[in-house]
């Protein structure tokens, strides 16, 4: 599903954020990218989501080289991805329901169908009773759940989550981990970037260690005790 | 069908936004009403009326030619000549002025019949007054005049070409000026829409970035802004129509009596419906295309970043 070959990324005027990264993620996998802040995890996620372009190397997503896609095709690819952000990125002047409806409106659903699906997604993350609330009136955990509802409402093939528990306490983080595992259980590919080892343990996916812009090692839940970090 | 639903939703939202922010929109609407209203009034006054100098309203620009007939042309010959001239392309009207009628007019114009009586007879010839179409080209007019001069029934051809040309040039200059004014006013309307959309884009920068991250194509991002721009322009043009109507009526009240006294056709007293509707359509297109251009530029700049 995701194939990164010799990928490097350098921002204008800066040093290499990523250098020669090779990484393959199969459909239906749960992958947890671990590493300290500034290691390059978020940049990797942005490349996987077609949000950034690699300075060198190739990034294939759903079998397509993202560098060769025109903006219209890239938009279609992005519609198959659910994005979860650390800072939630919710529309402050819209209700919870309207926020969740955005991907469905983009996909061209009728208003009634979009509303029905958005309500179902809110129910799934436990926000059914808060559909009229504005994001500012929700707690951090609720906002993250709202962000997850928006990410999964259009049933994407791939979920990319960047530090989804960065602003949450341990209880809320556990609840988010359970939700991501539930989506993974029904066949969705989930890639999570985190620096929280507890959250990683709860997710139980393949761990990818990112350090100083390079993938150092990968392991699975079964053998991770043997990996040097 | 999805796209149609999307457009309907976008126009609905744009309409509600116009109602929700009446004060913020008021200044934009006033500016647009002035630009479009004055433009429409200019079209009505100069483009359509031109104080009676345009070909469509009056006969002032229609060239008049007098064919002085030879004395030996009988009634049958004159009738034949009249019919053949009337059939020529570019001729609008042919009128016979008999020598007796011409003498009566002369006497009336002079106001003193003693001079006429002293002539002892009627020295004036029969004549045909030919009115050409106002849009007859100069080359065609030359051709017609030469052709008539060559005819055996015609003694002399008298044409008021110089005056007609002068009036024609004045009319063209007025129309050109009107077109320039209208273009400038429409351009200023476009600037108002463009700036409004630019401000909207700046205010919704984060939202645009987010929905693009979520996979929105450029057309989806453009839609609400294009709906807003075209609706704003349409509402401004609607108010502009009202403004133009008031202006045209006022001006007609002021210069109408003056025009009548000078024997000119009266100025327009209201905005013709077809002009108003045409202007609404033009404003809608201006709003639509200006907003489209504004958002497209914005998205291209964002893509480059």
Read off the pLDDT of residues B143-153 as tens digits, 9 standing for 90 and up.
888 999 999 99
Tokens of B262: 């000078």
The predicted pLDDT at position A28 comes to 92
CA A148, CA A84: separation in Å to the nearest integer?
A: 6
Phi, psi of A61 (to 5 degrees): -130, 125
Most B CBs within 10 Å: which of A105, A143, A153, A159, as the mutation test of the B interface?
A: A105
- What mean pLDDT is predicted for residues A125-129? 91
The SS3 of residue B146 is helix
pTM exceeds cut of 0.90: no
Flag whether pLDDT at B7 surpasses 90: no
Q: Kindly identify which residue of chain B lies nearest to residue A49, measuring between CA atoms.
A: B213
Flag whether pLDDT at B17 surpasses 50: yes
The predicted pLDDT at position B228 comes to 93
Neighbours of B261 (CB within 10 A): 8
Phi, psi of A21 (to 5 degrees): -85, 130
Instruction: Give just the sign of the alpha carbon dihedral B259, B264, B266, B271.
Output: negative
Most A CBs within 10 Å: which of B1, B2, B212, B215, as the mutation test of the A interface?
A: B215
Flag whether pLDDT at B99 surpasses 90: no
Indicate where chain B has its CATH 3.30.70.3040 domain(s).
64-158
The predicted pLDDT at position B263 comes to 58
Tokens of A186: 């029904």
Facing residue for B210 by CB, picked from A81, A91, A107: A91
CA A30, CA A46: separation in Å to the nearest integer?
A: 17
**From A58-67, B28-37, B254-263, the region with the lowest mean pLDDT:** B254-263
Span A195-210, pLDDT tens digits:
888 888 888 889 999 9
**From A58-62, A224-228, B251-255, the region with the lowest mean pLDDT:** A224-228
CA A183, CA A203: separation in Å to the nearest integer?
A: 11
Q: Write the DSSP string, B64-91.
A: EEEEEEPTT--HHHHHHHHHHHHTSTTE
- What mean pLDDT is predicted for residues A81-88? 91
Confidence grade of residue B134 (pLDDT, cut at 50, 70, 90): confident
CA B178, CA B174: separation in Å to the nearest integer?
A: 6
Phi, psi of B7 (to 5 degrees): -65, -40
Cβ of A71 and B217 within 8 Å? yes
User: Are A90 and A147 in contact, with CB atoms under 8 Å apart?
Assistant: yes
User: Are B167 and B82 in contact, with CB atoms under 8 Å apart?
Assistant: no
Residue position matching structure tokens 């950034």: A52
Flag whether pLDDT at A156 surpasses 90: yes
- What mean pLDDT is predicted for residues B72-87? 89
The predicted pLDDT at position A162 comes to 92
- Burial (CB < 10 A; 0-12, 13-18, 19+), residue B241, is buried
- What mean pLDDT is predicted for residues B32-53? 75
Cβ of A106 and B214 within 8 Å? yes
Confidence grade of residue B164 (pLDDT, cut at 50, 70, 90): low
List CB contacts (< 8 A) between A104 and chain B: none
CA B57, CA B49: separation in Å to the nearest integer?
A: 6
Tokens of A6: 């010799």
Flag whether pLDDT at A97 surpasses 50: yes
Measured at the CA of B54, the angle between CA B53 and CA B59, to 5 degrees, comes to 75
Flag whether pLDDT at B42 surpasses 90: no
The CA distance from A222 to the nearest CA of chain B, in Å, is 34
Strands B91-97 and B127-132: antiparallel
Span B187-236, pLDDT tens digits:
999 999 999 999 989 988 889 999 999 999 999 999 999 999 999 999 99
Span A4-63, pLDDT tens digits:
999 999 988 877 889 999 999 999 999 999 988 888 999 999 999 988 889 999 999 999
Average pLDDT across chain A, whole number: 89
The predicted pLDDT at position A60 comes to 94
CA A201, CA A196: separation in Å to the nearest integer?
A: 9
Residue position matching structure tokens 């609400």: B224
CA A154, CA A104: separation in Å to the nearest integer?
A: 6
Most A CBs within 10 Å: which of B200, B214, B298, as the mutation test of the A interface?
A: B214
Flag whether pLDDT at A168 surpasses 90: no
Q: In degrees to the nearest 10, what's the CA dihedral of A34, A40, A45, A51?
A: 170
A14 to chain B, any CB pair closer than 8 A? The answer is no
Flag whether pLDDT at B51 surpasses 70: no
Flag whether pLDDT at A225 surpasses 60: no
User: Are B35 and B185 in contact, with CB atoms under 8 Å apart?
Assistant: yes
CATH number for the domain running over B64-158:
3.30.70.3040
The predicted pLDDT at position B191 comes to 94
Query: What is this model's ipTM?
Result: 0.83
């Amino acid at each position: 599903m995701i194939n990164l070959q010799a990928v490097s990324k350098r921002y204008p005027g800066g040093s290499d954020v990523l250098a020669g990264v090779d990484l393959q993620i199969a459909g239906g996998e749960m992958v947890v990218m671990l590493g300290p802040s500034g290691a390059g995890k978020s940049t990797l996620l942005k490349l996987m989501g077609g949000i950034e372009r690699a300075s060198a190397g190739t990034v294939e997503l759903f079998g397509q080289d993202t560098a060769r896609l025109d903006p219209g095709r890239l938009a279609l690819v992005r519609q198959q991805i659910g994005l979860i952000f650390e800072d939630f990125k919710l529309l402050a002047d819209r209700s919870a329901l309207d926020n969740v409806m955005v991907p469905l409106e983009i996909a061209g659903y009728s208003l009634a169908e979009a509303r029905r699906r958005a309500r179902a997604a809110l129910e799934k993350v436990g926000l059914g009773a808060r559909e009229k609330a504005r994001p500012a009136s929700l707690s951090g955990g609720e906002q993250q759940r709202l962000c997850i509802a928006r990410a999964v409402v259009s049933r994407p093939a791939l979920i990319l989550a960047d530090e989804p528990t960065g602003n949450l306490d341990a209880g809320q983080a556990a609840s988010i981990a359970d939700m991501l595992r539930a989506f993974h259980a029904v066949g969705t590919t989930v890639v999570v970037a985190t620096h929280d080892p507890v959250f990683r343990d709860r997710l139980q996916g393949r761990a990818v260690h990112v350090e100083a812009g390079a993938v150092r090692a990968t392991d699975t839940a079964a053998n991770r005790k043997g990996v040097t970090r | 069908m999805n796209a149609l639903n999307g457009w309907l939703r976008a126009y609905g939202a744009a309409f509600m936004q116009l109602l929700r922010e009446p004060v913020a929109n008021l200044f934009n609407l006033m500016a647009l009403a002035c630009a479009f209203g004055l433009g429409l009034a200019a079209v009505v006054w100069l483009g359509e009326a031109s104080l009676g100098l345009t070909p469509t309203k009056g006969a002032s620009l229609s060239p008049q030619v007098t064919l002085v007939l030879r004395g030996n042309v009988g009634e049958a010959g004159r009738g034949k000549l009249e019919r053949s001239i009337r059939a020529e392309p570019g001729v609008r009207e042919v009128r016979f002025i008999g020598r007796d009628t011409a003498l009566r007019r002369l006497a009336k114009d002079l106001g003193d019949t003693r001079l006429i009586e002293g002539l002892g007879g009627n020295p004036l010839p029969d004549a045909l007054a030919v009115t050409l179409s106002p849009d007859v080209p100069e080359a065609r007019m030359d051709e017609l005049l030469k052709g008539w001069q060559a005819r055996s029934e015609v003694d002399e051809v008298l044409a008021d070409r110089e005056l007609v040309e002068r009036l024609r040039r004045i009319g063209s200059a007025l129309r050109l000026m009107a077109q320039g004014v209208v273009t400038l006013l429409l351009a200023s309307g476009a600037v108002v829409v463009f700036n409004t959309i630019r401000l909207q884009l700046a205010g919704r920068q984060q939202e645009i970035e987010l929905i693009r991250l979520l996979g929105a194509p450029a057309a989806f991002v453009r839609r609400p802004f294009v709906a807003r721009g075209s609706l704003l322009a349409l509402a401004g043009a609607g108010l502009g129509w009202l403004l133009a109507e008031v202006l045209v009526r006022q001006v007609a009240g002021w210069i109408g009596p003056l025009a009548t006294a000078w024997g000119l056709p009266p100025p327009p007293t209201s905005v013709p419906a077809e002009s108003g509707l045409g202007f609404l359509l033009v404003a809608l297109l201006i709003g639509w295309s200006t907003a489209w251009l504004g958002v497209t530029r914005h998205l291209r700049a964002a893509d480059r970043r």
